[in-house]
Every structure is written in structure tokens, then in C-alpha cells.
Structure 1
Amino acid sequence: MAPNPLDLLTPLSLLLLLLLLPSFTLTSSLSPPSTTTFTLDPNQLKALQSINFPTSTDPCSPPTHLHNSTTCDSSKPFHHLLSLRLSNCSYNVTLSTTALKSLSSLTDLQFINCPISPVRFPSELTANLRSFTCINCLKTLTGDGLNQLQNLTTLTISGVNIADATLSMILGTMKNLNFVSISQTGLTGYLPDHWQTKLTQIDLSSNNLKGKIPSSLSRIENLEYLDLSSNSLYGEIPGSFGDFISLQNVSLASNSLFGQIPDSLAMISGLVHLDLGSNQLNGTIPGFLSEMKQLKYLNLEKNNFEGVLPFNGSFIKRLEVFKVGGNSQLCFNDSTISSKEHGIDRCRKRRMHAASKIVLGVAIGLSSIVFVIIFLVVLSKYC
């Protein structure tokens, strides 16, 4: 009797199944889970999703996104956001008040290259916020909106228009501020007379600020960095600048400041960077600058300084950057500096030119006198 084909198939099928089972089991164990386990508070997760923040992985896991990032606390059962950075946002992203209220645990909020519609921050968000960064973002900011950020210690704004605001309005309520950078915002008005004394860094460059630099600025005893460059400031550099005993970096370039460099600057022993270029400063350059042991950057170009440059070659070589060109009445002594690479002439050459002019003037004068005498003598013979 012939064997039943089904009887032969059964052992063969079992053999194939045994051979394929390890492979199938291994493949199944290597496949990713179908769902992601989130440790973030559900309401905050929903808020992130509403602003198109990537949530394919847990936002509280180590950052994997190049432009967007978060940090979370360690609270349980769910973590809460401490910092949020949104970069390179699309134009269709909207920030709802509901979403922002859900992010009330944030202490650090950053928008970088996010040209989304302006938003008013709810009090639930601003209460804990300590650091706010807005670079090329939100299209415009208002003074009323910014002065709601009363608890900030760090404020950075750049490349965004600030409307209906003065510096006093923005900073007046920020009692704990120690770092402020507001640049390229079109901000107008004057520098305030009153400043928060906790400030260590001030950058107000590339705005439309005008008026004089107030002497009250020197009351900020711990100020280390001051950049007021590229504005429309005028007047003299206050003598009270010598009170900035902690100052390391000063840039007042590209304004309309005039007068002499105050002697009080000699008191700032730790100065590393001094930029006074492109102003209307005059008088002689003070020699005490060469005695500043920490100085690495010195820009005095495009002013109205005159006289002999009071620096020797060893001091200039110690500097990483030295600019002094564009001062037509300034010259250098070739006994102390061996080259003309700094954009000013040798003093001896200037003296020679001056002496030549004097000699020429005397010669012309004497020739004129002789001519007059000869003319009178000749004239007397005919009279």
C-alpha cells in the first residue's frame, strides 16, 4: 500500500518550522516597539505637539534634535519641562495661550529663527521664567509684553523689531537681571538714568539709541561687559568710568562721542578689550593705556587724535588687535616703532614737511622784501 502524501508532509513541515523559528524569534526581538513611553506630563506633551515640536521620542530623554531641545526635572510620576528651545520654526506654527499656560514650569525659553506670530505671555508662564532668548523670532516684540517678564535674570533679543518701547520701560521691572543683550532691534530713545545694580553684562549694540552716556551707569559696580557700539550716542566719555573696577570689555565704537579719553580709565586694571573706533574723540592718546597689563584689543581708529603715539613696539606686539589709522594728525616716533603698518605717518617726516614749509615761507618773504627794496631804489632814480 502506497504511503499517504500528507503523512510525509507533516514531518517535513515540522522540520522547516523548527529551522525557521529561531530566525523569526530573533527578528521579532530586534524590531522596535510600536509605541513610545513618555515620562513627560501629558498636558505639556500635548502643548509641545500643538506647536509641532518633534515628539517621536520622549522629550525628557537626552536631546536628539539638532535645532530643538528640552530639559526636564526629575519629578514623579511625570517630569516637567525646565527649558525649551525652538529653532527654525515653520511659518504656520502658532503659540496658543492654552499651550503656554501648560508650560508654566519653564525657567528657560528660547526662540531662534522662529518668525511666528507675536504672542502675549500669560502670567502662568512668566512667573517662573528666568531666561528668555529671542533671535530672529516672533516678528515683533512690544514693551508691554517684555516688561511682564519681571523675574528674568537673563534677557537676549536680537534681530527682531521692538515696538512702542524704551529701554527704561523694558528693564524697569526686571529687578534681578544680571545679563541683558538687546541688539539689532531698532530700539530708540535714551539710556536710562537708573540701572539694576546686579547687572554684569550689557549689550545694546546696533540700535538707534541717542543722547549722552549717563554717569549713573558707573553705579553698576560688578559690570564686566559693556557694548554700546553702533548707536547715535554723543558727548564725552564720563569720567566716572573709572568706577567700573570689574570691567573687562568696553565697546563704544561707531557713535558720535567727542572729547578726550578720560584719565579715570587708568583705574580699570583688568581691561582686556577697549574699542573706541569711529567716533570724534580728540586730544592726545594717553600713555597709561600701555600700562594695562591685561589689554589685548585696542581700537582707536577713525577719530581726531593728534600728537605722537605714546606706545612702543613691545606693547603693540603684545596686543592681539591694534587699530589706530584714520587719525590724520597722529604720528609715530620711528625710534620706538619700526614700521608704518598702522596707518599713520612718521613724526620726523611730518616735521620735515613742516620745516620745509617754514623755509619756503621765509624765502618768499625775504624775496618779497628784496623786490620791494630794488623797486624803490629804481623808482627813486627816476623821481
Structure 2
Amino acid sequence: MKQLITTTLILLLLHLTTTTTTTTTLTLDPKQLAALHSLYIPTTQDPCTHPTTTTCDSTTPFRHLTTLHLTNCPTDLTLSTTTLSTLSTLTTLTFTNCHVTIVHFPSTLTTHLTTFTSTNSLQHLTGVFLSRFTNLTTLTISGDYIKSSGVHVITSNMKSLNNITLSNTNLSGSIPKHWNPKLTHMDLSNNNLNGTIPTSLTLLDTLKNLNLSSNHLTGEIPTSFADLVSLQNLSLSSNSLSGSIPGSISGMTKLVHLDLSSNQLNGSIPRSISEMKGLKYLNLGDNNFHGVLPFNVSFIKKLEVFKVNGNDNLCYNHTSVLKSLKLGIAKCDKHGLPILPPPAADGPGSSADDMSSGDYDDDDGGEKKKSGGGGGNGDDHGPNKVVLGVAIGLSAVVFLIIFLVILSKCGGRCCCCCC
């Protein structure tokens, strides 16, 4: 009997211990529960079980939030310093389509955060405000206006930053020269940045993605870009870059995406680009490149996207590139110059698309083949229509004169006979 009672007590104690452990593990700090409630996040169930919105640590007796994602917020949502102070255990804070006015963030939160994201959300952002997040490894601001004198105001104190996106934020000024050497992602697209691309960027040998498109950048592409040996995606499109493409660009052997379109780049296209075995996307359109396209059919066909249209002085060799590819540039003549398209004919049969395709007549030099009975000028269309018309008219007049002469003679004979 004693043994039975002892066994029962042990089982009961184990059950109570397990229940207590489970309860404490799943219970969020009451102050943070209240903070979530003020942000209109449901708390009827344990918030730690909804990883798309929140994640928690495993501390006892209460768990604490480590990640908070606010998305599609109600229009009457407001942030308060008190609420944010309660959430100082967060390491990741994300706003998506959450249009709220920014307030002062307590230092306990700004120094604890390692990831901060705002996409089409926070209003009245400033560079000074963002610069307080000194321990960030990832900063993403997209579609939110930032009032700042330049990117350097935001990033100069972020020594651990390895992933930055400041896209469509109306930032101006130049691209900072100094970055964390372990940076892997940089997207500063769709801003008002000016100046040249700093050569110091080529020291970032761990950089995998670089997007500086849709700004006002000038100057040339640094020849040392080949040092970006880890780069997989490079977009410098829609700027005012000039000069030629560095031949050394083929040194970026891991490059998959290359977009240099809509600039003022000139010179010939380096043949070495075709040596980039992993390249899948290549856009060189709308520049001032000239000469013969140095790529063959096998290279072009392995690309998922290939664009060279908008380069009026660029042409392709029809012996190495199929006309059916519709490259949007002219075919080369025997001198390596673009064959000019025939003048557009007036009327419903003419089409601008026939010109834009760049696939013109297949004869070298643009010369027409002479037909066997063609006429003196070697034109496919035969004798000039005006000359032909005059000849027919003169023939008709001569025929009429002969007919009248014969008729008059015949009439004279008849008169004599009658007499």
C-alpha cells in the first residue's frame, strides 16, 4: 500500500512539474502583451505561436518578444514611446503598409535592434533618426521619403551593416566611400544620388548584389569592378554613366544579372562578356555602343534575357547571328557598319515595327540584286515610270500620224475613180 501511495505521489508531482514548465514556457511578459494589444495585435492566443507576426525567446518565468512585424495597420494606429520602451527586447522590427507617424524610439530599443524594415509605411523619417540604429546588420527602407542630406548621415555609425536597401526614398548626395567590408547587399536604386561610383566599392569582395539604378550617377564604370569576385547581380541602369565597359568585367565570374541599359556608355562591347558562363540576364540597350556585336548564337541563346536595342551604331554579323533573333539593331555591311533601313513607304502598308526590328535586307552593303532584264540603272523595279509613259505617248502620236496619212491617200484615189 505504501509503495502504491509513493508511486502515485511521484506521478502527480511529475504532472504538476510538466504543467508548470509548459505554462511558463508559453507565457509572454504581461507588459508586452499589453503593448501588443495597444498595437491591435490579437492576444487571445499566445502571440509566440504566430511566427509571421512575432517570435519570442525562451526565457523564464516570462518569454519576451524578439521579432515584431506590423503589416496593413489600421488607420488609427499610433506608436507611443511607452509602448516602444516595453518592446526593447526586439531584435527585428518590420513595418509593411503601416502608415504611421514616427515617434522617438528609446535608446534601449535602437541599440538592441539588428534588423529594421519599413516598406511603404513610416512617415517623417529622417537620416538622423535612422542613424541611431548603430547595431543594425540589415536596414531596409523602401518607398518611404527620408529627409536627409545624404546616405552617409544614415550609415556612418553602422559598423556592422552587411545588408542595406534605401530604395525610392528621395535621397540625394553622393554614394559613401566607406562601408563595412563584410557588406553583401546594397540597393540604393530610384533616388537622386549623383557623382561618380566610388572605386572603394570594389574593395567589398563579399558583395553579392549591387543596385544603383535610376539615379543621376556620372563618370565611368571603375575598371577595378573585376575585383568584385562574389558579385551575382549588378544593375547600373538609368543613370548618365559614360565611357566604355571595362574589358576586365569578365573577371566577375559569378555574375548572373548585368544591366547597364539607359546610360551614355560608348565604345565597342567587350567580347570577354561571352566568357561569363553563369550570365543569364544581359541588358545593354539604349546606349551609344558601336561596331559589330561580338556574341555568337550559342551565347545569346543561353541567356534568358538579352537586349541591345537602342544602339544606333551597333550592328550584328549575319553569318554568326541568326536574323530570327530580332535583336533590334541593324545588320552589318562588309565594312562592319550598320546597313541603313530602306525609307519608310507612305500608306497603310508601312510599319514602324519593320524599322525597329533591325532586320533589314540580307544582301551585303544594302545593294539590291539586279534582275536579268532590269534596265539600264540596275534597279529591281525596271525602267523609270515617267520615261516609260513618255515613250508610250510618243508611240501613240506617231501611229496616229501614219494612220491619217494612209487615210488621206486612200480618200484621194476614191475621188479620181468617181470622176
TM-score, structure 1 normalization: 0.80
2:283 to 295, 299, 309: 299
The one-letter amino acid paired with 2:42 is P
Which structure 1 segments of 5+ residues have no match?
Answer: 1-35, 358-383
Instruction: Identify the residue that residue 243 of structure 1 maps to in structure 2.
Output: 227
Structure 1 residue 140: Cα displacement:
2.6
Q: Does 1:347 align with 2:332?
A: yes
Report matched runs for 1:1-383 at 5 Å: 39-63=27-51, 69-339=53-323, 341-348=326-333
- Structure 1 residues 195-249: Cα deviation after superposition (integer angstroms, max 9, x where no partner): 2211001001111101110111111121111000000101100111111111111
User: 2-side partners of 1:98 and 1:355: how far apart?
Assistant: 78
Task: Give the secondary-structure state (helix, strand or coil) at the position aligned to 2:279.
Answer: coil
Q: Over aligned residues, Cα RMSD in angstroms?
A: 2.0
Structure 1 residue 352: Cα displacement:
6.3
User: 1-side partners of 2:178 and 2:130: how far apart?
Assistant: 18
Are the equivalent residues in 1 in contact too, given 2:221–2:243 (CA < 8 A)? yes
The one-letter amino acid paired with 2:191 is N
Structure 1 residue 40: Cα displacement:
0.6
- Structure 1 residues 296-324: Cα deviation after superposition (integer angstroms, max 9, x where no partner): 11000000000000000000010011000
The one-letter amino acid paired with 1:39 is T
User: 2-side partners of 1:263 and 1:352: how far apart?
Assistant: 27
Are the equivalent residues in 2 in contact too, given 1:119–1:138 (CA < 8 A)? no
User: 1-side partners of 2:321 and 2:366: how far apart?
Assistant: 24
Between the two proteins, the alignment pairs up a number of residues equal to 319
Instruction: Identify the residue that residue 406 of structure 2 maps to in structure 1.
Output: none
Structure 1 residue 351: Cα displacement:
6.5
Which structure 2 segments of 5+ residues have no match?
Answer: 1-22, 341-363, 368-419
Are the equivalent residues in 2 in contact too, given 1:178–1:200 (CA < 8 A)? yes
TM-score, structure 2 normalization: 0.73
User: 1-side partners of 2:80 and 2:247: how far apart?
Assistant: 55
The one-letter amino acid paired with 2:330 is D
Bigger fraction of residues in strand: 1
Task: Give the secondary-structure state (helix, strand or coil) at the position aligned to 1:290.
Answer: helix
User: 2-side partners of 1:298 and 1:57: how far apart?
Assistant: 50
The one-letter amino acid paired with 1:274 is L
